[in-house]
Amino acid sequence: MSIDAPDQGIAPKAEPGPAETKSTWGALRPLVLRLHFYAGLLIAPLLLLAAVSGLLYSLSFQAEKFVYRHELSAPVTGPSLPLEAQVDAARTANPDGTVTAVWPSYEDGATTRVLMTDPEVEEGKSLAVFVDPYTAEIRGELPSYGSSGALPLRAWLDELHRDLHLGDFGRNYSELAASWLWVVALGGLLLWFGRRRRTKRALILPERGTTGRRRTLSWHGSVGLWAVAGLVVLSATGLTWSRYAGENIGAVQDQLGGATPTVSAALEAGAGGGDGHEGHGGTGQGAQHKGADVGIDNAVAAARGAGVDGRIAVTLPADGSGYVVKETDTQYPVHLDSVAVDPADGRVIDELHFDDYPLLAKLTRYGIDGHMGVLFGLVNQLALAALMVALILLIVWGYRMWWLRRPTKERRLSAGRPMPRGAWRKVPVTALLPLAAATALVGWFVPMLGISLLVFLAVDITLGAVAKARATSVSQGTDS
C-alpha cells in the first residue's frame, strides 16, 4: 500500500539493474509502480477508514459479551422451562410485537433470545427480548441486526465499516476500498519481490542497520509480505457484499451451480388446517399461523430427532409455511444443518445438511464467516485485528516514504513525482495485449475498480497535458 514515488536523483542500491530492465518484468515494473503510487495516494485514505473500522469491529465480539452481559446471561437456578413458556413471557412483555424467531439458550447460564417485530425498532432490525430460561424473567430488550444477531454496539460498528452510516451512498466507499485492496496488495508484492537485496532474510524480515526511508521501506515490504494473503482474501470476501461487484459475483456463482441452498418450509395446499382454529397453540398467535400448531417445543424435538443439534435458531411458522429449525454454529467445523417441520403434526417435511452444499457455496460460507470473524471464534477475531493493524501500519509507512522523498524545493502543492508517463510503451506487445484485455475484463466485473481506473487515467492525461503546455510556454519564453 505504498504511496511512495521513486527517488528524485537518488538511486538506492536495491533498485533493479540494467539487465533487469530488459526483461518483461523490467518493462512492467514502471507501470506497476506508477499504478501503486496513484492507488496509494488516492485510495489509501479509504483503506485507512476501512482498516480502523474493521479493527474496532473485530474487537466488538468480546466487547459485546461484556457490555451486554446482563442480557446475555442468567444465573442457573434449576431446570430450563419449556420454550413455549419463555416465548409467552416475551409476548406478555411486548403485546404489540410479533414473534418471528427464537434462539434457545445454547449453554448453561445463557439466556434465550426471542426476536420480534416492533413498531419502535427501525426497519431491518428486530427487537431481541432476552428471557431467563429458568424463571422466564425478562433480562432485557435490545435491537438486533442480521443473522448473526449483532446487538447495538456491534451493529453500529458494522454499519460504520460497511457504509460510514451514510446508507447506500456510503457503501461506495467500502466497495471502492475492497476493489483496490487486492490490486495494491498484489502490486506491492510484485514490487517487493522484484527488488534486489543483499540477503534472503531481507525479503521476509526488516533489514538491520538501515535508517530513514530505506528502513521504512524494509518494514513496509516485509510486513506487507506477511499480510498480503489475508488482505487479498478480505478484499475478495468483502466484494461479495458490495452493490455492484457483488451482483456480478452472485450471477457467476449461480451460473456455476454454487448458490447457497435453503430448506423448503412450504406446506402443501390444505396442510396445517388441523381443527380449523386460528393460532392454536401459543407460538401460532404471534407468527400469524392459521391452523393447528404442535408448538415450538415439539418442533424443536422433531428437529433434534432429525440430527439438528447444538446451537439453533427457530423461525416460527406463517401462513403456508412451517417451522424452520437450523443450526447456527459457524465455528469450524461448521454445523449449519436445517429442517422444516409441519406445525400441524410435527413431521419433518424437508432437510438440508451442510455436507450437501455445493463446494462453491461452502467456500463462500467459509470466506464470509472468516471476514466476519466467526469462523474460528476468538482466534479469527484476533487474526482480523492483527491484519487491520498491519494494514494501518502499511498505509502510515507508505505516507512516511512519500513524505521523506516529497519535492522540497517546489513551493506549490505537489504530490511528488511517480514513474514517468509512457511506461506502457516499453511493455512488449505480447504482454501488453493480454494485460489490457484482463484489465478491461476485471474493470467490467468490478465496476468501481474500472471507473476509478478510468478517472486515474483521465487525471494523469490532464496533468500530462498541463505539464507539457507549461514546459512549452517556458521554452518559448526562454527562446524569446
On the question of pLDDT at 130 being above 70, the answer is yes
Q: pLDDT band at 16, cuts 50/70/90?
A: very low
Nearest-CA neighbor of 50 among 150, 138, 161, 154? 161
Contact 310, 106 (CB under 8 A): yes
Structure confidence at residue 168 (pLDDT):
92
C-alpha cell at 183: 490490486
pLDDT of amino acid 174: 96
Q: What is the pLDDT averaged over residues 321-348? A: 95
User: What pLDDT score was predicted for residue 277?
Assistant: 34
363-407 pLDDT, tens digit per residue, is: 999 999 999 999 999 999 999 999 999 999 999 999 898 888 776
pLDDT at 471: 77
Q: How far apart are CA 132 and CA 93, in angstroms?
A: 13
Cβ neighbours of 404 (radius 10 Å): 14
Distance CA 120, CA 143 (A): 10
Q: CA torsion sign, 466 to 469 to 471 to 474?
A: negative
Q: What is the pLDDT of residues 250-286, one digit of tens each?
A: 999 999 989 999 999 999 865 544 443 333 333 334 3
Instruction: Output the nine-digit C-alpha cell for 68.
Output: 451486554
More confident residue, 29 or 340: 340
Instruction: Kindly report the average pLDDT of the chain as a whole number.
Output: 86
Are 90 and 99 in contact by the 8 Å Cβ rule? The answer is yes
| pLDDT greater than 70 at residue 41 | yes
The cell numbers describing 451, all together, are 471507473
Q: How far apart are CA 457 and CA 347, in angstroms?
A: 62
Give the integer Cα–Cα distance in Å for 150 and 177.
Answer: 24
Task: Please give the pLDDT value at position 456.
Answer: 82
Is residue 25 very low, low, confident or very high in pLDDT (cuts 50, 70, 90)? confident
Q: Quick one: fold of 71-150?
A: Nuclear Transport Factor 2; Chain: A, (3.10.450)
Higher pLDDT, 93 or 273: 93
First to last CA, the chain: 46
pLDDT at 197: 73
Asked if residue 242 has pLDDT above 80, the reply is yes
DSSP structure string for 428-453: -HHHHHHHHHHHHHHHHHSHHHHHHH
281 vs 215, residue with greater confidence: 215
Query: Quick check: 386 and 394 in contact, CB under 8 A?
Result: no
Quote the pLDDT of residue 415: 52
- DSSP assignment of 227-265 equals HHHHHHHHHHHHHTTSSSHHHHHHHHHHHTT-PPP----
Measure the CA–CA gap between 183 and 161, rounded to whole angstroms. Answer: 20
Least confident of 122-126, 157-161, 419-423, 438-442: 419-423
Question: Which cell is 139 given?
Answer: 433480562
What is the signed CA dihedral for 144, 150, 153, 155, rounded to 10 degrees?
-90
Helix, strand, coil percentages in the chain from 3-state DSSP, rounded to 5: 55, 10, 35
Helical (H) or strand (E) element with 406: none
Which residues, other chains included, contact 79 with Cβ-Cβ below 8 Å and sequence gap of 6+?
134
List the single range of 189-193, 277-281, 475-479 with lowest mean pLDDT: 277-281
Q: Model confidence over 277-300: pLDDT tens digits?
A: 333 333 334 346 667 899 999 999
Domain ranges of the chain: 18-58+166-253+379-479, 71-150, 261-356
**What is the pLDDT averaged over residues 10-36?**
63
**323 φ/ψ angles, rounded to the nearest 5 degrees:** -70, 145
Residue 329 · residue 310 · CB < 8 Å: yes
